[in-house]
Structure 1
């Protein structure tokens, strides 16, 4: 039996996080009280080695591709043709796409795989998507917040030029949660049915000088 760790806020809003050491946790995203589900996992040494080699050989790697549910591995091989020896990475991406498509009954998904040297989305924000899969193969992981104590009017232009910590978005006691390398998370967005105004608040992490991050995301495609 899979054990889930659930963390609740005090505002009766869907900010419960479900975590488990198995991808079966992803089904928890369908519960209205959950807006993030995290599969906690460790990457194999072979996969970590391939990721390091891939980043070294392709420091500006940026892949955007449509992956079809009925030709996942073929489409991934084509999209990652710059990484001919990264077989473990390709197999892992194929597994993530397969699970994502199965969970949401998708015929295709949008895959992004990028090497980042700076925060792609440095401010806390919400995504206008139903749900997005996020995982970091190398480098710092995405950061996110519970709803408790948040003032969502400070998102976007509401920050009035102040930092997230100074704008009033959160209190001094607000805990900033971070994903670990290898973790796979489903982030519920604003366009999930009946979730408007409740999408997961998250941001990209600040990176140390010289740090490189390999990020993968999967999205719905109409």
Structure 2
């Protein structure tokens, strides 16, 4: 089997989602860190022209984007039919739940990159609206997560919804962008999902560049 590389950051919830899928599917991989997200050279991002992470690299083949990578890993493991993908969600509530998870993940990147990395004013309406929408989505998910999980097929191996929800909520403990402790249903879900070996083998951490030689 060609050695797989996931190019990304151990501190990224998008990267963690792909790593979690690899662990769940028993696929060996190497993590190739992107140390500085202000870099604008495409080669830093495995030639992804969008300058985004994560990227899956298998020899000469590269796959851009979190969901694309998860699907490629499932195909490689011959397990695509065992995963509940977004198109298999039935009912408006389930589909809305997945949409709001993606929204929260994107909003957190928007806030962190804008206010922490780029040092832009956090009271700008761009970030204030992002926070308000983020908190509104979290409250909605907290109120409906039990129903969304109940609607998933009982015989699933994994669903993209629960894996992405876990990565998103757990990341809010690692990167305290907006408060999350008050959402009891989401906290209960994270504690339960966090018992999975795949979750325990992919903790968030900051990638430290190797010391430069003198």
TM-score range, shorter chain: under 0.3
**TM-score (norm. length: structure 1):** 0.25
